[in-house]
Structure 1
Amino acid sequence: MFDIWKPEIFHGRRKEKNFFEGWYFKVVDHSEKNACAVIPGVSITGDPSKSHAFVMFLDARAQRMRYFRYPLDELKASDKKFELSIGGSFFSSERMNLTLGQGRGLITARISFKGTYPWPVKLLSPGVMGWYAFVPGMECYHGILSMDHSIEGFIEVDGIRTDFTGGKGYIEKDWGVSMPSSWIWMQTNHFDREGVSLSGSIAKIPWFGSYFTGYIFGFLYDKKLYKFTAYSGAKVTLLDVTADNTRIRLENKTYRLDIDADRSKGVDLPAPKLGEMTAKVNESLNSSINVDLLKKKGSGTELIYSGTGRNAGLEFVGNITELIKGLKK
C-alpha cells in the first residue's frame, strides 16, 4: 500500500504474469556529441520461459540499440528505496553502474547524478500520476524521478571511453500491464539556460470499458515546476501531429504552455504488451522542441519564457485521431 508514495521503487515483487516495469535513464555529455538512454526493467508473462529482466542501451548518435537479457533471479531490488541490480549493473537515483555484454561488445559505465529534481510526491498526489496513482488496475503507471540533474563519470562502449562529466541527465519510469495503444511523449532539459526542463505525455487511458485521453506535462523553470495535467483541470486546446512535427497547447487558469516539436530520425525499441516485450516504439534523442510559457493577463498573455530544447526525446505511437477524440470526452 505504501508503495504508492514511492513511485521510484520496484513494484513487481508479487507479480506472476502480465506485468512490466522499466526505468529510463537519459544522459548527454557536456559537448552534446554523445547521448544515451539506458532502460533497465523486467518483463513478466504468463509463460515463465519468456519472463526475464533486461537492460536496453540506446546510443542515439550511432542510432544503435542493444538489448541485454537476464534471468529473473538476476534482478535484485530493495523494497525500501530505489536500488536495483540486474546482472552486473546497478541503478539508483544517485548513480548508474553498467557492466553489459563481454569481449569487444562490452559496455561499462560509472555515472553519478547530482542535484536531482523529482516530481513532488504529496499525500493526496503521490507523484506525476496525481490521484490516479490510487486507482488500482490501470494499464500503465508513470513516475518522474528527476526532471533535471548534472552527471559525472564515463561510459565505455567497444573499448572507447567517453567522459560524461558536466553533462545532463533525466530519469523516469513506467510500470503496469502494457504501454498505451496510442501516446505522445517528449522530454528535453537542454535549453539556453540552466535548470529548464520539459517532460510531457498524452496517452489513451482505458477506463471502465471505454477510454479517455490523459495528459501530464511539467515545465521546470526558475526552480518552479509548472504543471499542466488532466487531473488538475488543465486543458489541451491544440493538438496537431504530422510525421515530423507535433504542436500542443496546454492551458490552466493561470498559465499557457505552447509546444512545437520537430522530430528527427529515431531507433526502434522493444515495448511491453501484456508484460511481454513484443511491441515497438520509435524513439529519437536528437529532436528539438520550441517552448513558450505564458501567464494569462485579462484577455492577453505575458511571456515568461521562450526557448528551444535540444537533444530532445520524442515518441509518437498509435492513432492520433483516437487521442483527439478522447480529449473531447
Structure 2
Amino acid sequence: MFKKYNPALFQGSKNKKGYFEGWYFKLVDSLEETAFAIIPGISLTPDSESSHAFIMVFDARNHEMNYFKFDVNEFNASKKEFELKIGENYFSHHNLVLNLEKGSLKIKADLEFENIVPWPVKLLSPGVMGWYSFVPFMECYHGVLSFNHQINGYIEVNGEKKDFSQGKGYLEKDWGSSMPSSWIWMQTNHFKEQDASLFGSIAKIPWLKKYFTGFIFGFLFQGHLYQFTTYNRSHIKELIVDDDWIKIVVANRNHRIKIEAKRTKGVDLPAPSQGEMTSKVNESLNSKISLKLYEKNKLIFAGEGKNAGLEFVGDIQELIKGLKK
C-alpha cells in the first residue's frame, strides 16, 4: 500500500511477466530552441527472453529517437524514494544523469530539477488516477510527478553541449501490462503565464470484458489545480480529431475547459504491449494548445501553450462510443 501513495516509486517487481514501467522526463531549454524527452523504464516480457531495461532519448527538434537497451539486472530502483539507476545512468525527482554510448553516438547529461509540483496525493485519491489507483486489474496506470519545474544543467550529444539552465521540465510515468489501444495525450507548461500548466489524457479502458472511455485533465494555474476527471463527475462535451486539430471541451459543476491542440509532425516511439516494446506511438513536442477556462460562464483564463507534447493513437470513434457507456 505504501507504493500506492508514492506513484513515483517503482511499482512493479523484476520477477513480473507481461509488465512495463516507464518514467517520462520532458525537457525544454530557456530559449525554447531545444526539446528532449528522456524515458527510462523496464520491459518484462511474457517469455522473459527479451526482457530488458531501456532508456529512450527523443530529440524533438531534430526528430531523432535513440533506444538504448540494458540487461534487467542493470535496473535498480530504491524502495524508499524515487531513485532509479540503469547502468551508469541515474534518475530522481531532483537529478538526471546520462552516460550513454551506442556505436558512434555518445550522449551525456547532468541535470538538476527545482520546485517540483506533483499531482496531489490524498488518502482516497493517491494521485492522478483517483480511486482507480486501488483497482487491481487496470491495463495501465498513470502518475503525474511534476506539472512544472525549473531545470539547470546540460545535455551533450557527440561533444555538442546544449545548455538547459533556467529551462522548464515536466515529469510523469506509466506502468502496467499495455498502453491503451486508443488514446489522446497532451501536455504543456509554456504559457505566457509562468505558473500555468496543462496535462490531459483520454483513453479506452478495458473493464469487465467491455470498455469505457476514461479521461483526466488537470490545469494548474496560480497554485490551484482545476481537475476534470471521470471520477469527479466531469463530462466531455465535445471531442473532435482531424488531421490538423484535436478539439476538446470538458465540464463539471463549476468549471469548463476548452482545448484546441494543433497537430504537428512527430516521431514514432516504442510503446508496450503485454510488457513488450512492440507497439508504436507518434509524439510531437512542438505542438501548440489554445486553452480557455470558465467558471460558470465567466472566462477566467485564456492562453496558448507552446512546446506541447501531443499524441493520438487508435480510433477516435472508439473513444467517442466509450463516452456513452
**Pairwise same-fold verdict (TM > 0.5):** yes
The residue aligned with 2:224 is 224
Matches within 5 A, 1:233-252: 233-252=233-252
Letter in 2 for 1:249: V
The residue aligned with 2:120 is 120
Q: Can you list the C-alpha shifts for 1:84-142, whole angstroms capped at 9, x where unaligned?
A: 00011100011111111157411000111111100000000000000000000110000
Separation of aligned partners in 2, 1:99 and 1:14: 23
Deviation at 1:14, TM superposition (A): 5.2
2:184–2:312: 8 Å Cα contact kept in structure 1? yes
Does residue 185 of structure 2 align to residue 189 of structure 1?
A: no
Q: Can you list the C-alpha shifts for 1:129-163, whole angstroms capped at 9, x where unaligned?
A: 00000000110000000000111000001110011
Letter in 1 for 2:324: K
1:43–1:51: 8 Å Cα contact kept in structure 2? yes
Q: Can you list the C-alpha shifts for 1:226-254, whole angstroms capped at 9, x where unaligned?
A: 00000000000000001221000000100
Runs (4+) of structure 1 exceeding 6 A deviation are none
Identity %: 58
Aligned to 1:116, what secondary structure does the other structure show? coil
Q: Can you list the C-alpha shifts for 1:198-225, whole angstroms capped at 9, x where unaligned?
A: 0000000000010000000000111111
Q: 1:102 to 1:323 in 2, by over 3 A?
A: closer
What's the TM-score, normalizing by structure 2? 0.99
The residue aligned with 1:316 is 312
The residue aligned with 2:302 is 306
2:24–2:37: 8 Å Cα contact kept in structure 1? yes
- Greater displacement, 11-20 / 139-148: 11-20
The residue aligned with 2:171 is 171
Separation of aligned partners in 2, 1:178 and 1:154: 33
Aligned to 1:215, what secondary structure does the other structure show? strand
2:46–2:274: 8 Å Cα contact kept in structure 1? no
Does residue 108 of structure 2 align to residue 108 of structure 1?
A: yes
The residue aligned with 1:139 is 139
Q: 1:208 to 1:61 in 2, by over 3 A?
A: same
Separation of aligned partners in 1, 2:38 and 2:160: 17
Aligned to 1:4, what secondary structure does the other structure show? helix
Separation of aligned partners in 2, 1:109 and 1:102: 15
What's the TM-score, normalizing by structure 1? 0.98
Aligned to 2:16, what secondary structure does the other structure show? coil
Matches within 5 A, 1:194-213: 194-213=194-213
Matches within 5 A, 1:1-329: 1-13=1-13, 15-101=15-101, 104-296=104-296, 301-329=297-325
Separation of aligned partners in 2, 1:104 and 1:272: 27
Number of aligned residues: 325
Q: Which blocks of at least 5 consecutive residues in structure 1 are unaligned?
A: none
Aligned to 1:91, what secondary structure does the other structure show? strand
1:234–1:250: 8 Å Cα contact kept in structure 2? yes
Separation of aligned partners in 2, 1:243 and 1:15: 42
1:18–1:44: 8 Å Cα contact kept in structure 2? yes
RMSD: 0.8
Q: 1:280 to 1:102 in 2, by over 3 A?
A: closer
- Greater displacement, 63-72 / 243-252: 243-252
2:14–2:72: 8 Å Cα contact kept in structure 1? no
Separation of aligned partners in 2, 1:53 and 1:102: 15
Letter in 2 for 1:82: F
Letter in 1 for 2:262: D
1:104–1:159: 8 Å Cα contact kept in structure 2? no
Letter in 1 for 2:66: R
Separation of aligned partners in 2, 1:150 and 1:255: 29
Deviation at 1:195, TM superposition (A): 1.1
Deviation at 1:12, TM superposition (A): 1.8
Letter in 2 for 1:312: A
Aligned to 1:119, what secondary structure does the other structure show? coil
Separation of aligned partners in 2, 1:88 and 1:102: 14
